[in-house]
Amino acid sequence: MNLRSELHRLYNTLIKEYGPQGWWPVFLADTENELADLRDGYHPGSYDIPKTDTQRLEVSIGAILTQNTSWKNAATALASIHDHGLLSIDKLKKTSIDKIALVIKSAGYYNQKARYLKNFIEFISDYPFEKLNRLTLGDARRVLLSVKGIGPETADCVLLYALKKPSFVVDAYTIRILEKVGIISRSMTYHQIQTLFESNLDRNVIVYQEFHALFVTHGKCHYQRKPYGESDWLLRHIKK
């Protein structure tokens, strides 16, 4: 079986098991969004979120806050930013790093992340989402990566979930699962794995969004603790 059909089979198996995941969660910016309110921001079946720049900002900030951190802790910090009336570019520009650090404390790494957020706010002031959206995918990714605090995965999350550009997100769970299933080997880089998906799947934003979300959902079930994937049923389903 070739790689292309293997990846499709993997995707179909996961989405059949878990259903649409409705990423990225948006639960603060638009209280009129009923779907988002109902399930902590997840909006399975709706792919027209985010709709506003505030929501795009919420997604981007969330992506930074959740770096190597549970979404629960990140979401608490995100809600704290909102509760302090700081969920806007102008407000965050006027707020000191120390103050931001205090507000996002529950996310962990709060000093680092406060700086990263400041860097991003500075960047997004010069490169508003609309302007960013007019760049090619490659150019948008490059400028995002130039921000200190935005690495490959965070950049791809912003591109895929805030800007809806077809940039595949590779995270730790993705790598663990693909290794276990035998699709990749340990020495492959982020870019190589990303290329693997992007050259074997149609350039479909919805599929990219769901695929990454499904990897995380499945990873939480079977790839949290070592040895990874001991209880995973995927192998039996995927092989041959």
- Closest approach, Cβ 42 to DNA, in A, equals 8
| The token pair that represents 46 in the structure block | 């709706």
Torsion angle, alpha carbons of 167, 173, 79, 57, to 10: -10
Instruction: By CB under 7 A, tell whether 113 contacts DNA.
Output: yes
- When the beta carbons of 6 and 54 are compared against DNA, the nearer one is 54
Tokens 């989402």 sit on residue = 129
The residue among 112 and 200 lying less far from DNA, judged by its C-beta, is 112
Distance of CA 190 to the CA centre of its chain: 15
Q: Sort residue 103 into left (φ over 0), alpha (ψ -120 to 50) or beta.
A: alpha
From 12-20, 26-34, 195-203, 212-220, span contacting DNA (CB under 7 A): 212-220
Quote the least distance from Cβ 31 to DNA, whole Å.
Answer: 20
101 Cα distance to chain centroid: 22
Tell me if 140 sits within 8 A of 172, measured CB to CB: no
One of 13, 69, 133, 200 touching DNA (CB under 7 A): 69
Site for DNA in 19-48 (CB under 7 A): 23-25
Piece of 89-97, 196-204, 214-222, 230-238 that binds DNA (CB under 7 A) = 214-222
* Per-residue tokens: 116: 């990263």
Cβ-based nearer residue to DNA, 134 or 186:
186
| The token pair that represents 189 in the structure block | 């880089």
d(CA 144, CA 129): 11
Of 8, 28, 2, nearest in space to 214 by CA: 8
CB of 61 to DNA, least distance (A): 11
Half-sphere exposure at residue 220, Cβ-oriented, CA atoms within 13 angstroms: 9
Residues 46-65 within binding reach of DNA (CB under 7 A):
62-63
Q: Which is nearer to DNA, 157 or 238 (CB)?
A: 157
187-206: contacts with DNA (CB under 7 A): 189
72 binds DNA (CB under 7 A): yes
Per-residue interface string for the shown chain with DNA, residues 122-161, x marking contact by CB under 7 A:
-------------------------xxxxxxxxx-x---x
- Phi-psi category of 19—alpha, beta or left, where left has phi over 0 and alpha has psi -120 to 50? left
State yes or no: residue 224 binds DNA (CB under 7 A): yes
- The residue ranges that bind DNA (CB under 7 A) are 23-25, 62-63, 66-73, 76, 105-113, 147-155, 157, 161, 171-173, 189, 216, 219-220, 223-226
